[in-house]
Amino acid sequence: MVKLKVLLAASEVAPFAKTGGLGDVAGSLPIALEELGVDVRVVMPKYGCVKVKGDKAVIGKDVKVYFIENEDYYARKELYGDKFGDYHDNLERFAFFSKGVLERCKKEGFQPDIIHCNDWQTALIPVYLNTLYKYDQFFSKTKVLFTIHNLAYQGLFSRDEYPKIGLDWVLFNIECFEFYGKVNLMKAGLMYADAVTTVSPTHAKEILTREFGCGLEGVLKNKEHVLSGILNGIDYKVWNPETDTKIPREYSVSTLDDKYVNKEMLQKELGLKIDREIPMIGMISRLADQKGLDLLAKIVEELLSLKVQFVLLGTGDNKYHILFEKMANMHSKNTSVNLRFDATLAQKIYAASDLFLIPSRYEPCGLAQMISFRYGTIPVVRETGGLKDSVKEFNPKAGEGNGFTFSEYRADHLFAAIKRALAFYKNKTVWPGLVKSVMALDFSWKRSAAEYLKLYQRISQNNKPM
Per-residue pLDDT tens digits for 174-194: 999 999 999 999 999 999 999
Q: Cα 464 from chain centroid?
A: 28
Q: Are 279 and 303 in contact (CB under 8 A)?
A: no
Q: What is the spatial distance between Cα 316 and Cα 318, in angstroms, rounded to a whole number? A: 6
Query: Rounded to a whole number, what is the largest CA-CA distance in the chain?
Result: 69
Outline where DSSP puts E strands in 89-138.
114-118
Q: Are 116 and 129 in contact (CB under 8 A)?
A: no
Q: Are 183 and 162 in contact (CB under 8 A)?
A: yes
pLDDT, position 466: 39
Q: Is the peptide bond between 248 and the residue preceding it cis, with omega within 30 degrees of 0?
A: no
Q: What is the spatial distance between Cα 303 and Cα 343, in angstroms, rounded to a whole number? A: 26
Let me know the angle formed at the C-alpha of 419 by 415 and 421, rounded to the nearest 5 degrees. Answer: 120
pLDDT of residue 28 exceeding 50, the answer is yes
pLDDT, position 84: 84
Domain ranges of the chain: 5-233+445-461, 253-439
Please give the CATH topology (third level) of the domain spanning 5-233+445-461.
Rossmann fold (3.40.50)
Number of Cβ within 10 Å of residue 362's Cβ equals 22
> Is the domain covering 253-439 a CATH 3.20.20.80 domain?
no
Outline where DSSP puts E strands in 384-455.
404-406
Amino acid at 125: I
Amino acid at 147: T
pLDDT of residue 7 exceeding 80, the answer is yes
Using alpha carbons, list the distances in angstroms from residue 225 to 41, 116, 221, 285: 28, 18, 8, 34
Q: What is the spatial distance between Cα 263 and Cα 261, in angstroms, rounded to a whole number? A: 5
pLDDT averaged over every residue in the chain: 95
Tens of pLDDT, residues 362-393: 999 999 999 999 999 999 999 999 999 999 99
Domains 5-233+445-461 and 253-439 share a fold: yes
Task: Give me the mean pLDDT over the 419-423 stretch.
Answer: 98
